[in-house]
């Protein structure tokens, strides 16, 4: 097989790639290698011709290619896509997201895209959020919150359009008027799952639907798994919200790691099987995230840091170290004189007495003659220990 010598124009190459999406399953690295060496026109001619198959392909696989090649009408597919408000993108075209080239020979032959925005521009600042189809209320809430928060922060939210976490994250992004992309395992004109017909229509109207398969193509189990590599490659990082040990969401996150993207997981209850896969992913080197700010810190620009996490500031936190030591030196349920308090606090007598007077004015301690104690009533400052130091 010889490489094309430049005789094939862009129209012929588009038609050839569109035709090949009818022949080739997503992620077919064998055909990807042929395309790299010879180009789409020669590859299509080879598959449709009467010559012998290349030695790299088995007889059964070659027969499958040839069977699918018998009924090709790429012009009809392009017309059907246009009627559905879709278009066909080829590698190297201005709208093609170059990060997909990181997939090597598993790169899509082409992409069918439904929606008005530019896929390349939207994908430049995108993050995937994926997870269990049969998610819990917790998972749906987290996914919707992340979808809305990331969209509000200016990120394109990418998911697979499925039930559960995917649907929740798409709805969250749409509710805030944000950008979202659904990567499908079927044609962009096919409403799958049927229960998401309205949602997929909203995504096509407000965002983008993307597929490797031509118009009218229906999903299969293997196509769901294979489309996950596109989600991983298209985005800067992948967040998993709830996933069992055997989950396509984990496939997406692990492929993201292989591609040098950031893999992230939202922790859940250790008693939940739907969080077991996420926890295993976290043990395998993924980053733990709990909200939008932490996701953006990992995949955003330098300086986009999540706020520091800390508990509420109480009055005791404002004391200086010496005053704190003196306060800690008082018994929990008894009184003490100044010499004992000074000894236990590691200070001199005068320093201890001065700090005790300061603490008394702030309401932390009480004085009874020559002895000092913690307040006997519950009206002391917030942060005063009641059950022991």
Tokens of 7: 């005789």
Rg (CA), the chain: 31
**Residue 383 pLDDT:** 53
Angle at 278 between CA 272 and CA 280, to 5 degrees: 100
Q: How is residue 146 written in tokens?
A: 């992340």
With vertex at residue 110, the alpha carbon angle to CA 104 and CA 115, rounded to the nearest 5 degrees, is: 125
Q: What is residue 27's predicted lDDT score, i.e. its pLDDT?
A: 95
What's the pLDDT at 3?
42
Measured between alpha carbons, how far is 382 from 389 in angstroms, rounded to an integer?
14
pLDDT at position 136 is 96
Which helix or strand (DSSP H or E) is residue 227 part of?
A: helix 221-234
- Residue whose C-alpha is closest to residue 161's, from 171, 151, 152: 171
pLDDT at 304: 59
b/e code 45-54 from CB counts within 10 Å (16+ = b):
ebbeeeeeee
Task: Give the span between the Cα atoms of 337 and 155, in whole angstroms.
Answer: 62
pLDDT of residue 385: 46
Could you tell me the pTM of the whole model?
A: 0.81
pLDDT, position 386: 41
pLDDT at res. 140 = 97
DSSP line for 165-211: HHHHHHHHHHHTT--EEEEESS-TTS-SSGGGHHHHHHHHHHSEEEE
Structure-token pair, residue 82: 């246009």
Please answer whether residues 263 and 237 qualify as being in contact, where contact means their C-beta atoms are separated by less than 8 angstroms: yes
Of the candidates 287, 279, 276, 283, the one whose C-alpha atom is nearest the C-alpha of residue 245 is 276
CA 106, chain centre distance (Å): 21
How confident is the model at residue 118, as a pLDDT? 97
- Residue 134: how many other CB atoms lie within 10 Å: 11
CB-based burial of residue 88 (10 Å sphere; 0-12 exposed, 13-18 middle, 19+ buried)? Answer: buried
CA 34 to chain centre: 32
Q: Which segments of the chain have a pLDDT < 70?
A: 1-8, 302-311, 313, 377-389
Q: Residue 6, SS3?
A: coil
pLDDT (tens digit, 9 = 90+) per residue, 248-296?
A: 999 999 999 999 999 999 999 999 999 999 999 999 999 999 999 999 9
């Amino acid at each position: 097989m010889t490489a094309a010598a430049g005789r094939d124009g862009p129209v012929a190459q588009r038609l050839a790639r569109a035709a090949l999406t009818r022949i080739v399953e997503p992620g077919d690295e064998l055909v990807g290698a042929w395309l790299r060496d010879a180009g789409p026109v020669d590859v299509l001619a080879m598959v449709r011709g009467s010559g012998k198959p290349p030695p790299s392909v088995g007889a059964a696989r070659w027969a499958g290619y040839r069977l699918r090649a018998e009924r090709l009408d790429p012009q009809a597919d392009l017309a059907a896509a246009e009627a559905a408000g879709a278009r066909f993108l080829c590698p190297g075209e201005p709208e093609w997201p170059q990060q997909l080239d990181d997939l090597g020979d598993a790169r899509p032959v082409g992409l069918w895209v439904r929606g008005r925005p530019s896929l390349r521009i939207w994908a430049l600042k995108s993050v995937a959020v994926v997870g269990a189809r049969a998610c819990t209320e917790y998972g749906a809430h987290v996914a919707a919150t992340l979808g809305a928060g990331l969209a509000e922060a200016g990120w394109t939210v990418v998911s697979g359009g499925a039930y559960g976490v995917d649907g929740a994250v798409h709805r969250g992004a749409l509710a805030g008027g944000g950008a979202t992309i659904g990567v499908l395992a079927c044609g962009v004109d096919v409403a799958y799952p049927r229960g998401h017909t309205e949602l997929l229509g909203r995504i096509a109207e407000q965002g983008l639907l993307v597929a490797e398969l031509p118009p009218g193509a229906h999903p299969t189990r293997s196509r769901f798994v294979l489309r996950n590599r596109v989600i991983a490659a298209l985005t800067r990082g992948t967040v998993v919200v709830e996933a069992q040990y055997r989950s396509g969401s984990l496939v997406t996150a692990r492929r993201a790691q292989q591609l040098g993207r950031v893999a992230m997981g939202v922790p859940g209850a250790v008693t939940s099987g739907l969080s077991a896969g996420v926890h295993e992913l976290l043990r395998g080197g993924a980053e733990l995230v709990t909200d939008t700010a932490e996701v953006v810190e990992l995949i955003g620009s330098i300086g986009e840091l999540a706020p520091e996490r800390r508990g509420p500031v109480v009055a005791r936190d404002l004391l200086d170290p010496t005053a704190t030591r003196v306060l800690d030196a008082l018994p929990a349920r008894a009184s003490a004189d100044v010499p004992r308090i000074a000894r236990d606090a590691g200070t001199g007598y005068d320093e201890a007495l001065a700090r005790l007077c300061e603490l008394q004015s702030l309401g932390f301690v009480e004085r009874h003659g020559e002895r000092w104690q913690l307040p006997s009533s519950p009206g002391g400052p917030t942060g005063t220990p009641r059950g022991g130091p």
